[in-house]
């Protein structure tokens, strides 16, 4: 996993609740990304970061916020969860343009 | 914008049969990458192809990058039950390092 950890592994939320998905890496990599994976949709980029203090939107950013205060951590925040955000979320770090994924967080929004 | 299309979406084979998945891009790619995701797991990097017409092999897996660098394929010879999973291709989004556009994947099922 190139030292990428994600917590929690599983989470169930009610509509309107907020939560933060944690992602951390211990390899001092600059580039980090968040993806969501839905059946038949592949991996879609939510947000990414090219270094501490620098983030940008991917293709499906709505409903999600990110920040990158340190190189190690890249949390993903859901401010008001919706059932459409039920998905598996993967954090990834980049080494020479190759993505190394964390184990994922399976999120269900009721 | 650039998209990476992958077919087929599903493939069911009997153990010992061959398997191929295809990836096509609307634009020329600087490189293409392949990933495998086992059921319940996370995507794992397999290989990166960079050169036009490049062919690389990993045991029973053969990866090709088209001459125009717009298409790629992954071929598995004599599939085994350990090959089960979803195979994704991915190409760079623009020039920003680490931004990839993933195909939707081909889910491979292997009957024993």
Report CB contact under 8 Å: A42, B9: no
pLDDT tens digits, B79-99: 999 999 999 999 987 766 668
Q: Give percent above pLDDT 90 in chain A.
A: 84
Listed residue (A92, A83, A71, A84) closest to A21, CA to CA: A92
Residue A2 confidence (pLDDT): 62
- The alpha-carbon gap from B38 to the nearest alpha carbon of chain A, in Å, equals 12
Listed residue (B80, B82, B4, B78) closest to B38, CA to CA: B82
Q: What is the DSSP string of B58-111?
A: ETTEEEEE-TTSSEEEEEESS--GGG-EEEEEEEE-TTSTT-EEE---EEEEEE
pLDDT tens digits, B15-62: 999 999 999 998 999 999 999 999 999 999 999 999 999 999 999 999
Collect all residues of chain B within an 8 Å Cβ-Cβ radius of residue A58: 99
The DSSP 8-state label assigned to residue B15 in this structure reads T
Chain A residue at shortest CA distance from B92 = A97
Residue B93 confidence (pLDDT): 77
pLDDT tens digits, B5-27: 999 999 999 999 999 999 999 89
Is residue A34 a contact partner of residue A45, using CB atoms and an 8 Å limit? yes
């Amino acid at each position: 996993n190139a030292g990428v950890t994600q917590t929690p592994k599983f989470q169930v939320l009610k509509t309107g609740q907020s939560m933060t998905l944690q992602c951390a890496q211990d390899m001092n990599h600059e580039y980090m990304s968040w993806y969501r994976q839905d059946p038949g949709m592949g991996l879609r980029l939510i947000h990414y970061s090219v270094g501490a203090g620098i983030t940008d939107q991917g293709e499906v950013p709505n409903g999600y916020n990110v920040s990158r205060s340190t190189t190690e951590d890249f949390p993903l925040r859901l401010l008001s969860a919706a059932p459409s955000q039920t998905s598996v979320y993967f954090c990834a770090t980049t080494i020479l343009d190759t993505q190394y994924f964390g184990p994922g967080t399976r999120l269900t929004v009721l | 914008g650039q998209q990476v299309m992958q077919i087929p979406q599903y493939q069911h084979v009997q153990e010992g049969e061959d398997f191929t998945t295809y990836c096509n891009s609307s634009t020329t790619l600087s490189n293409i990458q392949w990933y495998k995701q086992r059921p319940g797991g996370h995507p794992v990097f397999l290989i990166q192809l960079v050169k036009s017409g490049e062919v690389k092999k990993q045991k029973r897996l053969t990866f090709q990058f088209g001459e125009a660098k717009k298409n790629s394929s992954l071929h598995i010879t004599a599939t085994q039950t350990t090959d089960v999973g979803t195979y994704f291709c991915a190409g760079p989004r623009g020039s920003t390092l680490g931004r990839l556009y993933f195909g939707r994947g081909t889910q491979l099922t292997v009957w024993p």
